[in-house]
Structure 1
Amino acid sequence: MKKGQLTQYKIITITAVLVVLACSFAIYLRLFTEKELWYEMFAAVLGVIITAIITMILLRGQSDNDVERERASKIFGEKLKIYQEYLCTLCDVIKDRKLTDEEKIRLEFQTSYVAMHCNPAYIVKISEAVRDLIKYCCPDESDGGQKRINPNLSMSDSPDPLLNSLFCIVEAFRKDLYGDNFNFKYEDTMATLVNFSSAYRNAKSDDDNEGDEIAQQVEATTQNYDADQWDDALQKWEKQGWNLEGLSDRYDGFRLVNRTGNPGIINVGFWHGHYYIQASYRNDSDFSKPLKWEKGGRRNYGQWWQYLAEPYYDIPERQFVETFKSNKNLQQYITDYMNLLIDIESRHHRTVTWKDKVKRYENWKIFIWYWDMLACEYENEEEGIPYMDIIEKDKSGIVLIQLANRQNDMAKLRNTLKRIGCENKEKQENGYVILEEVHSVMAEDVAARVNYWIDKIRL
């Protein structure tokens, strides 16, 4: 200690001597006068003080940044480790399809580790997903021990509830790790979930060899139904390309899927204490919106669903098949609903085939209106927003391509007609001008003529 103090004292002494010598030489050599020397010394000292202060601020800021960066890095690593361990813990506690007291305690402690770091808003979402996951994988015996599914997802192309819940948890973790701006795109998420879920459903497990017997089960359960209504309906739907799956002891509900290329799905399932009917067509909201407008219920993208009406609203869970077999009125109610939805699915699919063949043009909006009509709208205010409605005429096999404008301005419509060389065409009572009658309902034929007229109308 004394040695250190002595060394520091020597340094200060030598520095002072050198400063005095430098000042003496400056005066002796007449570099500065005594007055100028004090001025220059003051300026030098002031410069040194300012430089020292700035350097100290910069060093402190850099030091704080380094500390914060190191802290953030450690927290991020710790979060990542805890979140991974949480998922591993979830897997361990639910893989045997039951939750013991020891496993509950383990999961609760692991949850507390997550809560230590995770944003409270995300903890709520995680807790909801974990609740649904445990309900699905470890059902409560007092609740019948049955797994439930989300009615907003169709049966045959819906994500597995376990996988769906895990994605919700992972999304919350990722937002907490990488920021609120991170979001899974809905389309990408659904495609990923459906692909994995479909793969799992189609794969055989060692303890599940009943997959090859679904067809025999469906046939065995439907043979006892009233041949005058249900069997006739099944045969009719079969001819239309729709196959029945489920309606058995294994699947207390059913779905209708199409084998001819129509991606629509119709199904009956259970959610929140009641059975529902659902129809979906990919993620096409043009399909589900008119259904909600017409029938009520709820919708989400291309999916629409509604609970069964009275007196079938309160059918107990796991009792649908039994009730259906013994209740001809329920059979008729379901049959009528299926006929309606199959008709809508088929009509919408036919219009979709037209839409898919139509080219995409700038400033043109192309959509489907109430399943049967293909609408092509030109965003041109000067001509009153011209649009074409394409629809089959009274199931005659003749497709009408009709022109009008949103402002219902006949003068502007006439300007459009004159510009495209159709000034001699007359306005119909319904407000349209028929541009052409296409004597075919084939998608290639209809779309070719629609593309032709769009090319003529657009500026």
Structure 2
Amino acid sequence: MKLKPNFSRGAVLVLTIIFLITAVTFEIFELSSLPAQFFGTLLGVVITAIITVLLLQGQTKSEESRERNLMVFEKKQEIFFHFLTQLNTILQKEELTLHLSHDKTLEREVNSLQDLLFEFGFLQMHTSTETFDRILVCVGNLMEESKKIKQIENKKEQDFELYYQVLATDFFAIVSLLKLELYQTAPTAIDKNQLDRIIRLSF
């Protein structure tokens, strides 16, 4: 195993010497100018090697940066989608109180609010301060309207229509904010008239 590298090096050295002797013998190179040509060639090899190393280092850093950005993008997608799903689940809960009642356990009652707070933590890690604050406002609006509609005993179509209009407005505002964070593109405007029409037709 060790003989092969040594043999290769020896063969390269012997061939180099034979090449130099042949070049001088047949006057391809003049003996007096051979050292200058040798060092010139060696300098060119060294410069080429340095440039190659610098290019490879730059390419490696670029690939590492691209892979890291891809991983962050995929993680953001996962967290944003999970947040929207969790928000939907929480809005459908009857109560998010921290007080125990007779027919509920502590785990069932606190878990939804606790999950929401943790989702906020994950969200804050992957969004700007401005975006996060605006999302908090929208979530506050959604939870306030959700609480209002649940407290109305004899709900009318107008109550539901108002609730779903607020729900649609703030939910799509959150989606637009997350889209901006994720894809760095300006949020597209939602046709509110068509959205209100769909809500009215649902009753």
TM-score tier by shorter-chain length is 0.7 to 0.9
The structure with the greater share of residues assigned to helix is 2
- Hey, what does 1:107 align to over in structure 2? 116
1:45 equivalenced with 2:42 (yes/no): yes
Cα distance change of structure 1 residues 137 and 194 upon mapping to structure 2, 3 Å threshold: farther
SS at 2:139 equivalent = helix
How far apart in 2 are the matches of 1:176 and 1:48?
A: 48
- AA of the residue aligned to 1:102: N
How far apart in 1 are the matches of 2:94 and 2:170?
A: 16
CA apart distance, 1:157: 10
Q: Choose which of 87, 90, 94 in structure 2 pairs with 1:90.
A: 87
1:175 equivalenced with 2:172 (yes/no): no
The structure with the greater share of residues assigned to strand is 1
Cα distance change of structure 1 residues 6 and 137 upon mapping to structure 2, 3 Å threshold: farther
SS at 2:95 equivalent = coil
- Hey, what does 1:452 align to over in structure 2? none
- Hey, what does 1:203 align to over in structure 2? 202
1:130 equivalenced with 2:129 (yes/no): no
Higher relative contact order (CA 8 A, sep 6+): 2
The alignment yields a C-alpha RMSD, in angstroms, of 2.5
Residue pair 2:164, 2:199 contacting (<8 A) in 1 also = no
Cα distance change of structure 1 residues 115 and 158 upon mapping to structure 2, 3 Å threshold: closer
- Hey, what does 1:28 align to over in structure 2? 25
Deviations 1:380-422 (A, max 9, x none): xxxxxxxxxxxxxxxxxxxxxxxxxxxxxxxxxxxxxxxxxxx
How far apart in 2 are the matches of 1:157 and 1:129?
A: 16
TM-score (norm 1): 0.37
How far apart in 2 are the matches of 1:18 and 1:198?
A: 86
1:157-176 equivalence runs, <5 A = 160-176=165-181
1:21-420 equivalence runs, <5 A = 21-99=18-96, 100-139=109-148, 145=151, 160-179=165-184, 182-184=186-188, 188-189=189-190, 192-204=191-203
Cα distance change of structure 1 residues 10 and 51 upon mapping to structure 2, 3 Å threshold: same
How far apart in 2 are the matches of 1:102 and 1:183?
A: 33
- Hey, what does 1:15 align to over in structure 2? 12
Number of aligned residues = 183
How far apart in 2 are the matches of 1:81 and 1:107?
A: 15
Deviations 1:174-205 (A, max 9, x none): 111122x5133xxx42xx2332233223323x
- Percent identity over the alignment is 23
Runs of 4+ in 1 over 4 A off after TM superposition: 156-159
CA apart distance, 1:11: 2.6
Residue pair 1:157, 1:194 contacting (<8 A) in 2 also = no
How far apart in 2 are the matches of 1:157 and 1:127?
A: 21
TM-score (norm 2): 0.80
Larger Rg: 1
